[in-house]
Amino acid sequence: MHEPWTTQHSALEYQIQGWGNPYFSIGDNGHVMVTPTGPTGPAINLYELALDLKARGLVMPMLFRFSDIVGHRIERISKSFQRAIEEYSYAGNYRGVFPVKVNQQRHVVEEVARGGLPYNFGLEAGSKPELLIALSVTLPQDSLIICNGYKDTKYIETALLAQRMNKTVIIVLERIEEVDTVLDASQRLGIVPVLGVRAKLTSKGVGRWARSAGDRAKFGLTTAEIVQLVDRLAQHQMLHTLQMLHFHIGSQISSIIPIKNAMQEASNIYVELAKMGCAMGYMDVGGGLAIDYDGSKTDFHASKNYDLQEYAYDIVASIQDACRKASVSVPTLVSESGRAVAAQHAVLVFEVVGKNEVRFGEPSKPPSDSHRLLLELYETYQGIMPKNVQESFHDASQAKEESISLFRYGYMTLRERAQAERLYWHCCEKIANTLQRVKFIPEELQDLDRTLSAIYYCNFSIFQSAPDIWAIDQLFPIMPIHRLEERPTVSATLADLTCDSDGQIENFIDVEDVKNTLNVHPLAEGEPYLMGMFLNGAYQEILGDMHNLFGDTNAAHVKLDGDGYRIDHVVRGDSVTEVLRYVEYDPAQMVEAVRRQAESAVSERRLTNEQMRTLLDHYEASLRSYTYLTED
């Protein structure tokens, strides 16, 4: 017999203490609890919050943003650097910036500005539109605006002019060609630029984004180009304008080693630039600070083997060491953490709307005059035991193959073939159950569990809400947000609403590597089953697309208020009309076209008046509705 299931078992099952700490945990009531300012602060019951909003007509799927988490992350990052600075008696400051590309939503960027106020947090723009955002936001007095990306004259001139509005706007040269454009613009406007240079380091990151560094990286100057840049600036008596060294070796850097290596290389370049007479003063270490999506604390791509404090210590120590050796004064430290600021604040909550679950149970004995093959299969079924699982699986598989050829040559009826197939699945199910009592599972049987698992159909689109699952096999923690005091007895994969076979989730976080199915609860009649996809706040929203015309989901901004919470903003998801307009349809014309066809169907008596009205009512109501499944 199993021991009774508790919420502690669920915590282990879903690894929530690993990836959820300090914002997500399981309450005694079996619901996921959110603590936006850490475990000592107020808690919000995610399940009740979702039902609460549903009662107000905001249906799922819904993206919840816990704005306080953004502020809390900024505080944690800034304080880690402050602590490292104090402990090492580092004679410089830390000024973080948030890369707008990670989440451009106005409410998020405004939250960064608000939460970053005590820490002089600024913004990083990777394009002209993002610079326009950065300039429109009220930022702390001493914060930085950093301009990266491909730049045209307007981008550069805007950045230069913005300096006259009491902002420190640093133009990072990402390609050697940009220096002439900047010098020209600066001369034309009579404004001296504050320049940075992005170095192409030879120290690479790891995993998916390793190509962000190295000789073939898209952006950055090689050492030869950096020297060329220095000479060019010297020619124009502009050496004093180069104030910052920048590098970015990729995102989600799961190991501390490449970070240390990059820091060491960059620190040496920094002191060299200072010695060559450049003003310097800032060292920008880019992004890459990882999120532990699977909670394993390892250098697996979905995890990280270092903590925030270690990261800050290593950066401070490395540059301090290099500066000390070269008697160069230490720079203000800048980092551009995006994922590490934004990922945790957003949770997608969605409902399971159906399932495809095959339970075979006990087969009935075929009558003795049945096809020989059916009798053999039944015998195989009956003989399955721990000692012969592999052999039984062979026998069953062979019989199934044989039934297919017998059918092909006319020696078996369709009904008989179907019976053989069913018996085969009965065998598989019994083998899978028997395997639970076997210590060593043969390789060919390892997939059986997945083959027999249920599919839970979920009311959301991966392409819209978590495109990285599809694009780069990213792992997000996914789990039910209630019934966690109950044993999850169904092993399932998840499928979304799109008709795309890629719209499925078959990889889930696991302590070791990944697992192919997720344990969930049986659906209860007439009761919603709600699941959450966590750590969803970085990159997903803007990369999301309208595959199958599923649009933006509803979003609610939840803010702590005393011991409770308030809903700050609700952003309604797209209606069908909105997504159709996006692809250039005119909904009024569409209604008209359908009306005309219906009219002629009525006049030719293929449709009754009543039926025509129902059709047009449905058509018009659907145009106004949410793009996802709704109950009414």
Ligand X SMILES: *Cc1c(COP(=O)(O)O)cnc(C)c1O
Residue numbers of the site for ligand X (CB under 6 A)?
99, 101-102, 124, 126, 148, 248, 251, 286-289, 336-340, 538
> At closest approach, how far in Å is the CB of 508 from ligand X?
23
Give the C-alpha separation, 615 to 603, whole Å: 15
> At closest approach, how far in Å is the CB of 112 from ligand X?
13
Please state at what angle helix 178-189 crosses helix 153-162, rounded to 10 degrees: 50
In the complex with ligand X, which residue's Cβ is closer, 99 or 503?
99
In the complex with ligand X, which residue's Cβ is closer, 61 or 338?
338
In the complex with ligand X, which residue's Cβ is closer, 100 or 428?
100
Q: What is the layout of strands, in order, in the sheet containing 44-45?
A: 24-26, 32-34, 44-45
In the complex with ligand X, which residue's Cβ is closer, 286 or 331?
286
> At closest approach, how far in Å is the CB of 114 from ligand X?
20
- Please report the DSSP string for 97-126 in residue order: EEEGGG---HHHHHHHHHHHGGGT-EEEES
In the complex with ligand X, which residue's Cβ is closer, 102 or 308?
102
- Please report the DSSP string for 199-247 in residue order: B--SS---GGGGGGSSTT-SS-B-HHHHHHHHHHHHHTT-GGGEEEEE-
> At closest approach, how far in Å is the CB of 254 from ligand X?
11
Q: Pull the structure tokens for residue 459.
A: 């009311």
Angle at 242 between CA 236 and CA 244, to 5 degrees: 170
> At closest approach, how far in Å is the CB of 251 from ligand X?
3
> At closest approach, how far in Å is the CB of 253 from ligand X?
7
> At closest approach, how far in Å is the CB of 221 from ligand X?
14
In the complex with ligand X, which residue's Cβ is closer, 213 or 330?
213
**How far is C-alpha 163 from the chain's CA centre?**
35
Q: Dihedral of the CA atoms 173, 178, 179, 181 (nearest 10)?
A: -130
In the complex with ligand X, which residue's Cβ is closer, 157 or 174?
174
In the complex with ligand X, which residue's Cβ is closer, 196 or 363?
196
130 neighbors 101 (Cβ within 8 angstroms): yes
> At closest approach, how far in Å is the CB of 248 from ligand X?
4
**Which residue from 550, 625, 540, 627 is spatially nearest to 65, judged by alpha carbons?**
540
Angle at 337 between CA 258 and CA 186, to 5 degrees: 105
In this chain, which residue has its C-beta nearest to ligand X? Answer: 287
Q: Dihedral of the CA atoms 242, 244, 245, 248 (nearest 10)?
A: -130
Give the C-alpha separation, 253 to 257, whole Å: 9
Determine phi and psi for 373, rounding to 5 degrees.
Answer: -65, -35
